[in-house]
Structure 1
Amino acid sequence: MKPTTNIKDFYSLKTIIFISFTSLTLTLFLVINYYQINTLSAEETSTQILSEKITSDFPQGIKFESEFSNPNEIQSIKLMIKFGTQERGAYNYMELGKNNSLRNTTARFFWRTDTPAKYVPPNTFINYNYEITDINGNKSITKTKKTLYLDSRFEWQYVSNDMVNVAYHGPVKKRAETVLDAINQTVDRMNPVLFNFDNEKINLPIRVTLYNNYKEMIGALPAKSKTISRELVTEGQAFTSYGTVLVLGSGQLAAGTASHEAIHILSHRAGEGRIYKLPQWLDEGLAEYGNIQPSYSYDLALEFAIGTNRLITPITSSQKVPSSPEDVIIFYGQSRSLVSMIISKYGNPKMRELMAQMKKGTKLPDAIKIVYKKTLIDIENEWRSSVKAPLYLKEKTQSAKPTAVPQKKLKLFSLTPQPGAETIKSNKNDEPQPFTQVSCGTSGSTAKDLSFGGIIILLIILASKSKKINKS
């Protein structure tokens, strides 16, 4: 028997579906229309930027002063900024003027860059726009504009091509062109080592500021270790998230410095993800591997470290560059030699694969296993064999069992001597014992002796440092 369908029921169901679909379409239309009405471009709501003044006050910050025109009274203005090649931006609400008219509104904001957390290097592009909200809740967003954050102490000129821009001041154009050429060579050399061709960051620009002497440059650098600042002159520094480099151009190593620092930017673009940073040994090793003007002092330092058993052990587990100046030089030489061995033995494709693995969030030890089928220690020992250094043997940690302390047998207390009981005695006639315990805050004789000895040692150290400073 064939199933039968009631015609009335069929048309009733069809009507319900039609009404539901129409209601859903109408709801979506109203939501989209409401959003378009309440978040429009500045042109559609007749918001205009009447005037705008942007002033660089490096290193303190950058000042924005603007005047807007809007048919309705403006309630708030949000300044939205993205520095350099950063993926994420930030925003702040501008301070509105006190004597604004109904249609015209002035606003200002000073974006501070004078702390280590807020520092922005000079010659960095700033992408910015405004979001204006009126008293009716309507929002309008202006088109994105660009400005340049400059070191306002000097008048800057530029040499550039499609990828690299070098800012310089004074009669050093030839030196600036040398730096530009050095970075071009570096990019051509390192892109095949670091980037898969589908990486969208391969063609992002690099901006360089060239300073003529150390006094000029030290005023542009963020704060760092006083020991390293005093004993190692900073010849260059890369700010990878901004795509910006500072270079000391007074020496003959300016081209090599620019090359080294540019590779930091390239390697971070190729291999650093949002979760994990590149390890220092790989970052610095790549920077010196690709340097078109490498420093021979690193080779000498490595030779010295191998001969005197002062290698950084194990360098593949190091999380940061050492603090002492001597160990910094050894670290650079060791990192370069290790990275050179990896690339020469396994080739560019493997290094590109390693960078791609880390870029997508794989931890370095796991990425090494995936790409090279080895552990980090295996790789390090391969290098140690190649330079005839002792192999690194992982120390075996043994958990020692605690020795049982015999417990004192408890006895009953008694005022008179009895078998199996402990007699309580008066200490009235006992002679006082000398106090020799030393702890924090005590003033016993031993503590005084230690304090006096510590003062003598401190004076000797200070005297020796004073002599070093006078000699230098």
Structure 2
Amino acid sequence: MTRINLLLRTLITSLLFVLLMGTAFPGLVSAQTVEVVDEGVEYVYGKFIVFNARLDPPIPVEKALIAFRSSGEQDTQVYDVEVDPEGLLTYTYEQSSRPLSAFTTIEYRFTLTLEDGTEVKSQPFTFFYDDNRFDWKSIERGSVTVRWYEGGTELGENVIDTVQQGLDRARTILDVVSPGQLLINVYASSSDMMAVLSPNGNGWVVGHADPGLDVIVAALPPGPDQRLQTEQRIPHELMHVLLYQKTGAGYTNIPAWLNEGLASMAELYPDPDYQILLENAVKEDRLLPLASLCQSFPSDSYGLPLAYAESTYFTRYLYRQYGSSSLETLIAAYTDGLSCQRGIESAYGSTLENLENEWRQAAFGQAAAAKVDFQELLPWLVVLSAVLLLPLVVTIASLRRR
């Protein structure tokens, strides 16, 4: 009996110790048992996101924070969270000042500071931040998903067929592989599409690729031109994704004229307006130097389409004149970090300006040559005029004396 009494006393003493510790230091027990559960989000794209969760058990806390970050972004945003007496956590993020990118995975977690100063972190939670303004329809084929909200199944089928045709065209230009998981979102208007890009973006933009996220957005309004626009815009944006897959981190070093030139070359239905733009620019002596198109394109309504036109025709000239292998060498040079000028010199053994002059002569030959010849002959024409006019002036003066 003595041994049984000793065991009972030990057990009772241990229980009393735990109870006393829990009473004297409630945070010690709470920190080990409290959890963040029933997490979830509600949002309206571009306006607000409401983060919700619940503490289990609903113990008092001194402070609660939420930290979240979109995939592909470096900055983490941290804000105070409201906690009600029942342990409900709520935070509403207004996006008017700092919008989040669409079609990204957002990771978030809660950090609690208990009344005794103990810090408790929740596990990380994630959700896909979609454009939920529309009731999307979708179709999948292999690793490609196409979504649209206006039009029938024929639109989705046409877009997904064009992806394969665009891939085939791209492979005639460069050595590229099939895209990985690719999401294509088709908007019925440019204004609908621009809401997921920059609110201050250029209205001339009708498509955009985010290669790092494997996402393409394109405006394909209903109407008789929709199929032709599909054959332009989908292969164009697809080429950006393929080029990113090919170059990785070196993608950002590819000059704008080459990036957009290759994308335009991949279009199944080339833009007929480019030729007209170039011819008018030649007549008005308003062609843009390609060196000015290395970093970015102009944003004005005249310069932007002209920059696309020049980039397309110059890149096509390089492809036809020197072949695909030279383009591959050029891309490799830029991927290795060479500058816009040095990359050209490394791949072609010539300067960008010299190659640009070659292209201008080949593309606009007679008009450009005539202009250059006149400029070169101008001093001689002035001398010739003086020689011819001098006898005439002397003759007129002699007649007046008589």
Aligned-partner residue type, residue 209 of structure 1: N
Cα distance change, pair 306–176 in 1 and its aligned pair in 2 (3 A): same
Tell me the residue number matched to 1:149. Answer: 130
Query: Aligned with 1:266: secondary structure?
Result: helix
Cα distance change, pair 285–82 in 1 and its aligned pair in 2 (3 A): same
Query: Residue 336 of structure 1: CA displacement?
Result: 0.7
Cα distance change, pair 291–109 in 1 and its aligned pair in 2 (3 A): same
Provide the rounded CA distance (Å) in 2 between the counterparts of 1:271 and 1:303: 34
Query: Aligned with 1:311: secondary structure?
Result: coil
Query: Residue 315 of structure 1: CA displacement?
Result: 1.6
Select the residue among 355, 374, 384 that pairs with 2:331. 355
Provide the rounded CA distance (Å) in 1 between the counterparts of 2:336 and 2:48: 34
Provide the rounded CA distance (Å) in 2 between the counterparts of 1:379 and 1:47: 69
The C-alpha deviation readout for 1:204-227, integer Å capped at 9, x for no partner, is 4332222224554455552336xx
Aligned-partner residue type, residue 105 of structure 2: I
Is 1:66 the counterpart of 2:77 in the alignment? no
Query: Residue 337 of structure 1: CA displacement?
Result: 1.0
Provide the rounded CA distance (Å) in 2 between the counterparts of 1:137 and 1:362: 52
Provide the rounded CA distance (Å) in 2 between the counterparts of 1:346 and 1:99: 70
Tell me the residue number matched to 1:106. Answer: 89
Is 1:54 the counterpart of 2:26 in the alignment? no
Tell me the residue number matched to 1:190. Answer: 170
Provide the rounded CA distance (Å) in 1 between the counterparts of 2:53 and 2:230: 40
Query: Residue 192 of structure 1: CA displacement?
Result: 7.2
Provide the rounded CA distance (Å) in 1 between the counterparts of 2:296 and 2:99: 22
Query: Aligned with 2:107: secondary structure?
Result: strand
C-alpha contact (below 8 Å) 2:250/2:334 kept by paired residues: no
The C-alpha deviation readout for 1:359-418, integer Å capped at 9, x for no partner, is 34332222222333322223222322321444899xxxxxxxxxxxxxxxxxxxxxxxxx
Cα distance change, pair 170–49 in 1 and its aligned pair in 2 (3 A): farther
Aligned-partner residue type, residue 319 of structure 2: I
Query: Residue 58 of structure 1: CA displacement?
Result: 1.9
Q: CA RMSD in A?
A: 3.7
Query: Residue 149 of structure 1: CA displacement?
Result: 1.8
Select the residue among 332, 342, 345 that pairs with 1:369. 345
Tell me the residue number matched to 1:97. Answer: 82
Select the residue among 193, 201, 206 that pairs with 2:182. 206
Tell me the residue number matched to 1:262. Answer: 238
Instruction: Map 1:180-259; keep pairs closer than 5 Å.
Output: 180-190=160-170, 193=173, 203-214=179-190, 216-217=192-193, 219-224=195-200, 229=203, 232=204, 234-250=205-221, 251-252=225-226, 253-259=229-235
Query: Residue 307 of structure 1: CA displacement?
Result: 4.4
**Ranges in structure 2 where 5+ consecutive residues have no aligned partner:** 1-31, 373-402
Cα distance change, pair 141–161 in 1 and its aligned pair in 2 (3 A): farther
Provide the rounded CA distance (Å) in 2 between the counterparts of 1:73 and 1:150: 37
The C-alpha deviation readout for 1:317-350, integer Å capped at 9, x for no partner, is 3343234434433322221111112223333343
Tell me the residue number matched to 1:315. Answer: 290
Query: Aligned with 1:294: secondary structure?
Result: coil
C-alpha contact (below 8 Å) 2:139/2:146 kept by paired residues: yes
Tell me the residue number matched to 2:26. Answer: none
Provide the rounded CA distance (Å) in 1 between the counterparts of 2:172 and 2:123: 40
Provide the rounded CA distance (Å) in 2 between the counterparts of 1:353 and 1:378: 18
Select the residue among 125, 143, 167 that pairs with 2:104. 125
**Ranges in structure 1 where 5+ consecutive residues have no aligned partner:** 1-44, 394-472
Provide the rounded CA distance (Å) in 2 between the counterparts of 1:293 and 1:49: 54
Provide the rounded CA distance (Å) in 2 between the counterparts of 1:360 and 1:156: 41
C-alpha contact (below 8 Å) 2:209/2:238 kept by paired residues: yes
Query: Aligned with 2:83: secondary structure?
Result: coil
Cα distance change, pair 62–173 in 1 and its aligned pair in 2 (3 A): farther
Query: Aligned with 2:268: secondary structure?
Result: coil
C-alpha contact (below 8 Å) 2:111/2:120 kept by paired residues: yes
Is 1:158 the counterpart of 2:143 in the alignment? no
Is 1:304 the counterpart of 2:289 in the alignment? no
Tell me the residue number matched to 2:398. Answer: none
Tell me the residue number matched to 1:168. Answer: 148
Cα distance change, pair 189–89 in 1 and its aligned pair in 2 (3 A): farther
Provide the rounded CA distance (Å) in 2 between the counterparts of 1:287 and 1:322: 18
Higher normalized helix content (fraction of residues): 2
Cα distance change, pair 348–140 in 1 and its aligned pair in 2 (3 A): farther
Identity across matched positions, percent = 18
C-alpha contact (below 8 Å) 1:270/1:355 kept by paired residues: no
Query: Aligned with 2:350: secondary structure?
Result: coil
Provide the rounded CA distance (Å) in 1 between the counterparts of 2:250 and 2:33: 39
Query: Residue 56 of structure 1: CA displacement?
Result: 3.0
Select the residue among 142, 157, 174 that pairs with 1:177. 157
Give TM-score, length-normalised by structure 1.
0.59
Tell me the residue number matched to 1:286. Answer: 262
Select the residue among 345, 350, 360 that pairs with 1:384. 360
Query: Residue 150 of structure 1: CA displacement?
Result: 1.5
Tell me the residue number matched to 1:79. Answer: 67
Aligned-partner residue type, residue 159 of structure 2: V
Provide the rounded CA distance (Å) in 2 between the counterparts of 1:361 and 1:140: 41
C-alpha contact (below 8 Å) 2:60/2:85 kept by paired residues: no
C-alpha contact (below 8 Å) 2:66/2:80 kept by paired residues: no
